[in-house]
A and B are shown apart, each in its own frame.
Chain A
């Protein structure tokens, strides 16, 4: 057993895995905050785009188009510089400048704005394919619009959109790598890319450090696919086995 402990203590890969464990929690933090906040916002945007109210649908459409049509990298810079320019007139007098300008606040904010546009497009696309017969049935038994949404549109949308939404979540997790390229790094609050870059500058071993960072990203992506796959199973438990949408473990990675 000695050689195992020896190897573990001396192996550069193991050392890197240990060093990068804390930075990985920052990526996880950004994703874990943004996903639950982005989800309801995306649903509202999708309902907005689907609504018959012209103003509401135009606004939602424009929002979704703008945030899907521009790079997240630019969005980060833009919102950070917005926040900076409002610092003297708003945040400082209110005494909240340290919170608002903190990457741990601003990062998730921009990620939420971004991911909700992508997720809203997914939900919107699926909402239009909700089986018509079910909606007609709901109306025939006299449900009001709220009941119709809760008992037909919502559960169907979630179930049908889940595989694509899983993809979006993985993409969001990958997008967390951009946060600290655009926002200031405070103290030792570094994410995976930051820390890998820092380690690289010490010994120029690009293969080791970037591979270990990539390993973290792949491992956490796989974990997301696995847990979201379990949810998919739960969501389609009432459907006959043969008719279930097969949840592919390696879904289409297209955003």
Chain B
């Protein structure tokens, strides 16, 4: 199929374009284009986790039980107080060690643990070998935890913004506390939360460029590989250092993604505002 597309493009643009078109559709470049899936999966799954953790964090922050409230505030403030890249790297490593610790309880003998004191893992049997997709899942959860803290703040504020009269009216109609929370507060909160959540989405989208730090072969890693000076003994110098071209493409790619996201959020906001009284 690609060959026929190239043929028709060459017919349209002239023979000069053939080499270039064939170059940007060779196997490695197709791998690069396909690796966009990691970025998109991480962004969408990360956003889903972030909303989940955001709701949880917001619920903790306004809990009636003081220790739960403290946990909520601690989560929100500490995660936002450190750079996202620090937590993004910390969580997968910490989770891996946690799993290996659990493995070591059953798989290692006491002597092995004693002789391996000060190093990790406690014994070879407890080693947990992670593969590409495992790292992707851990990255998604990691994004969820980091941006969940941002989302928790947004959702918490949005819940306070729901008009009190509405909740009182619901109570007066005999809805239980739980029903008032889920059917009125959470449902109405979204219009107030959307601008903030759109902001969190933009941050998350930009953070997906960090995936290569967890050894995931994402668009950034491929851009680096493809752009590096390419020398073949048979063909001589194929191209010099072209990394700046590939990074420029990524730069534009992310700007386009931001534009697209803005449009989607504008549409969502209009949808969420249906039936609301227009202020000002």
Interface residues of A (CB under 8 A from B): 65-66, 68-75, 77-78, 81-82, 84-85, 174-175, 177-178, 181, 193, 196-197, 200, 203-207, 210, 213-214, 217-218, 221, 250, 252-255
Most chain A CB neighbours (cut-off 10 Å) among B78, B90, B199, B223: B90
Chain A binder among B27-35, B105-113, B179-187, B203-211: B203-211
What residues of chain A lie closer than 8 Å to B207, measured between beta carbons? 71
Pair A81/B243 contact, Cβ less than 8 Å: yes
B248 touches A177 (CB 8 A): no
Q: A74-B254, A203-B118, A210-B90 in contact; A221/B81 too (CB < 8 A)?
A: yes
Contact B247 A69 (CB under 8 A): no
Alpha-carbon distance A178/B88, docked complex (angstroms): 12
| 5 A-B residue pairs with CB within 8 Å | A66-B255, A77-B224, A77-B247, A85-B241, A254-B200
Docked Cα-Cα span, A81 to B251, in Å, equals 13
- Contact of A177 with B83 at beta-carbon distance under 8 Å, contacts A70-B206, A74-B220 already known: yes
Count of chain B residues with Cβ under 8 Å from any Cβ of A? 48
Beta-carbon contact of B244 and A70 below 8 Å: no
> 8 smallest A-B Cβ distances: which pairs?
A204-B120, A69-B258, A174-B83, A81-B243, A78-B247, A71-B209, A81-B244, A71-B206
Q: How far is the CA of A82 from the CA of B86 in the complex (A)?
A: 27
Distance in Å: Cβ of B119 to nearest Cβ of chain A: 7
Task: Check B169 for interface membership: any CB of A closer than 8 A.
Answer: no
Residues of A within 8 A of B93 (CB): 200, 206, 210
| Residue in contact with B85 in the complex, picked from A178, A205, A250, CB distance below 8 Å | A178
In the assembled complex, which residues on chain A have CB atoms less than 8 Å from the CB atom of B150? 253-254
- B residues engaging A (CB < 8 A)? 77-78, 80-87, 89-90, 93-94, 97, 118-120, 150, 153-154, 196, 199-200, 202-203, 206-210, 213, 220, 223-224, 227, 240-241, 243-244, 247-248, 250-251, 254-255, 258-259
Pair A253/B250 contact, Cβ less than 8 Å: no
Known: A69-B255, A71-B207, A177-B83. A81 touches B227 (CB 8 A): yes
* Distance A197 CA – B83 CA, assembled complex (angstroms): 15
Contacts of B203 in A (CB 8 A): 254-255
Q: A69-B259, A207-B94 are in contact. List 4 more A-B contacts (CB 8 A).
A: A214-B86, A217-B82, A217-B83, A254-B196
A218–B78 CA distance with the chains assembled, in angstroms: 8
A131–B119 alpha-carbon span in the complex (Å): 63
A77 touches B196 (CB 8 A): no
Q: Which residues of B contact A69 (CB under 8 A)?
A: 202, 254-255, 258-259
- Tell me the complex Cα distance, A221–B81, Å: 7
With both chains docked as a complex, state the minimum distance between the C-beta of A247 and any C-beta of chain B, in angstroms.
17
A250-B149 Cα distance, complex, nearest whole Å: 14
Report which of A178, A206, A217 forms a contact with B94, defined as CB distance below 8 A. Answer: A206
Instruction: State the CA gap A254–B119 with chains docked (Å).
Output: 39
Are A214 and B82 neighbours in the complex by a CB distance under 8 Å? Answer: yes
B54 to chain A, nearest CB (A): 13
Chain B nearest CB, measured from A159 CB (Å): 24
Residue of A nearest to B256 (CB): A69
| B243 with A84: CB separation less than 8 A | yes
- Compute how far the CA of A19 lies from the CA of B85 in the bound complex, rounded to whole angstroms: 21
Known pairs A74-B220, A75-B251; A181 contacts B85 (CB<8 A)? yes
Would A70 and B120 count as touching, CB distance under 8 A?
no
A177 near B241 with CB under 8 A, answer no
Please, which residues of chain B bring their CB within 8 A of the CB of A221? 81
Of the candidates A72, A73, A84, A210, the one whose C-beta lies within 8 Å of that of B86 is A210
Q: Is there contact, CB below 8 Å, between B85 and A193? A: yes
A56 to B86, CA, bound (A): 38
A177 near B244 with CB under 8 A, answer no
Residues of A within 8 A of B200 (CB): 254
B86, A193: Cβ atoms under 8 Å? yes
Find the A residue at minimum CB distance from B252: A70
In the bound complex, residues from chain A placing their C-beta under 8 Å from that of B240 are 85
**Bound complex: CA A71 to CA B82 (Å):** 18
Q: Kindly list chain A residues whose C-beta atoms are within 8 Å of the C-beta of B154.
A: 254
Which residues does chain A contribute within 8 Å of B90, judged by CB atoms? 206, 210, 214
Nearest neighbor of B254 in chain A, beta-carbon distance:
A70
Q: How far is the CB of B117 from chain A (nearest CB, A)?
A: 11
Evaluate contact between A84 and B247: CB separation under 8 angstroms: no
A81 contacts B247, CB within 8 Å?
yes
Chain B residues whose CB sits within 8 angstroms of the CB of A250 once the complex forms? 77
- Tell me the complex Cα distance, A71–B85, Å: 12
Which residue of B81, B89, B247, B259 is within 8 Å of A217 (Cβ)? B81
- Give every chain B residue within 8 A of A252 (Cβ-Cβ): 153
Judge whether B82 and A82 touch: CB under 8 Å: no
A84 touching B83 in the complex, CB below 8 Å, given contacts A65-B255, A71-B206, A206-B90: no
Which residues of chain B come closer than 8 Å to A65, judged between CB atoms?
255, 258
